[in-house]
Amino acid sequence: MNERFSKLNTGLLADRKIMQLMIITAGIFLFFSYTSSDIFFTTDNFKSMSYQIPEIAILSIAVMLSMITGGIDLSIVSISNAAALSASWIMTMHINKSGGEPIHWILIACLVGIVVGVLCGMVNSLLVAWLNVTPILATLATMTLFNGIAIGITDGKSVSGLPDQFMRVGNGTFFGIPTPMVLLIVIAMGVGFLINRTTLGLKVFLVGTNRKAAQYSVMGDRKVIAWTYLISGFLSSLAGLLIASRTSAASPDFGSSYILLAIVVVVLGGVNPSGGFGTVTGVILATAVLQMVASGFNALRFSQFFYLVSQGGVLVFVMILNVVLERRRVRRSIAKSLGS
């Protein structure tokens, strides 16, 4: 009896969540493939999904990192837009004037975008890790702040007409695989390595489980938290560049609904909103689930509003499920600690 409990409670619990998600993913896939074989189950649809999934998945991975430490980063979309805008601004400025080799300007522009993202991440780190501002408030403030700065600089206009070479990244393929997908795989592997195979990753989980105990264990909890927001800023800037590259434009108000979506994805993906647990695989599977639901509803000609309802519904359902499972788990732990 005890043995079975402990299996459910350990690392396998996370695996079990992944298993559940895989089954859900497969189920939804089969459902839509069956009900809408002419629109959903087509190469075109799969292709379009594989260009849309990476952006939201990368943003979600960014949210996941801060959430594992018990915080949250609401400023990801603002950061990604700010990064995309500054990169696009440099590209349009220099390409139209010089007309020469734009490729090195593209690289410089991307670099600048990434630097902007990292700087924004540092602002969040400063607020959350060093000034102890509650993460949800700190990043809500910086979300508005970054967004406001972006609107101010561009006068609220979007920047469009980006060079072809740049657009090839967001719309092209790499050995037959859509480039954004390749980028996502690289990022997923990188973050997976970071959280599972480095000491920083281990600390991220420990700080997220019990910050007080982390302080008493002297693991530099501030530094750990600072790193997650910095990396979150970095990943957001990559997502921003990807979006700009796919849509050939950058605008300060792009993807404002993405932040809610990213949180839905992360929670659905099994990340514990109060910190301590989360997997990259879970987040990617959850992105796939939601994207399939979106495409599927589209294919079945359900209205947009129905999709929003189901998105919110999923979030509420998963939260309730988590609470129920948590209660059961706590009860079992208590019983066990009394038993031995």
The Cβ of residue 179 has, within 10 Å, a number of other Cβ atoms equal to 20
Of 57-65, 123-131, 198-206, 248-256: span binding another protein (CB under 8 A): 198-206
* Phi, psi of 173, rounded to the nearest 5 degrees: -125, 160
Q: How near is the Cβ of 218 to another protein at its closest, in Å?
A: 5
Nearer to another protein by Cβ, of 15 and 167: the residue is 15
In the complex, least distance from residue 114 CB atom to another protein, rounded to whole angstroms: 22
d(CA 206, CA 291): 32
| Residue from the set 20, 49, 181, 220 that interacts with another protein by CB under 8 A | 220
Residue 201 within binding range of another protein, rule CB under 8 A: yes
**Residues contacting 53, CB < 8 A, separation 6+:** 180, 181, 184, 287, 288, 291
Amino acid at 255: G
In the complex with another protein, which residue's Cβ is closer, 220 or 273? 220
DSSP state for residue 251 in the 8-state scheme: -
x/- contact string, 157-196, with another protein (CB under 8 A)? Answer: ---------------------------------------x
- Residue closer to another protein by CB (options 43, 199) is 199
Nearest distance, CB of residue 314 and another protein, angstroms: 24
Question: Closest separation between CB of residue 275 and another protein, Å?
Answer: 9
Q: Regarding beta strands 177-178 and 249-250, do their DSSP bridges make them parallel or antiparallel, or are they unpaired?
A: unpaired
DSSP 141-157: HHHHHHHHHHHHHHTTP
Full 3-state SS string of 52-81: HHHHHHHHHHHHHHHHHCCCCCCCHHHHHH
Q: Which stretch binds another protein (CB under 8 A): 31-39, 62-70, 230-238, 327-335?
A: 327-335
Structure tokens at 112: 């600048």
Q: Which of 231, 80, 255, 72 is nearest to 150 (CA)?
A: 80
Whole-angstrom Cα distance, residue 295 to residue 51? 12
Residue with Cβ nearer another protein (23 or 334): 334
90's tokens: 């440099």
Candidates 3-11, 135-143, 235-243, 297-305; binding stretch for another protein (CB under 8 A): 3-11
Residue 35 lies near another protein (rule: CB under 8 A): no
For residue 265, give the nearest of 284, 240, 293 by alpha carbon: 284
Q: Which stretch binds another protein (CB under 8 A): 17-25, 96-104, 182-190, 204-212?
A: 204-212
How many of the chain's residues bind another protein (CB under 8 A)? 40
| Residues that bind another protein in the complex, under the rule CB under 8 A | 1-3, 5-6, 9-11, 196-199, 201-203, 205-206, 209-210, 212-220, 276-277, 331-340
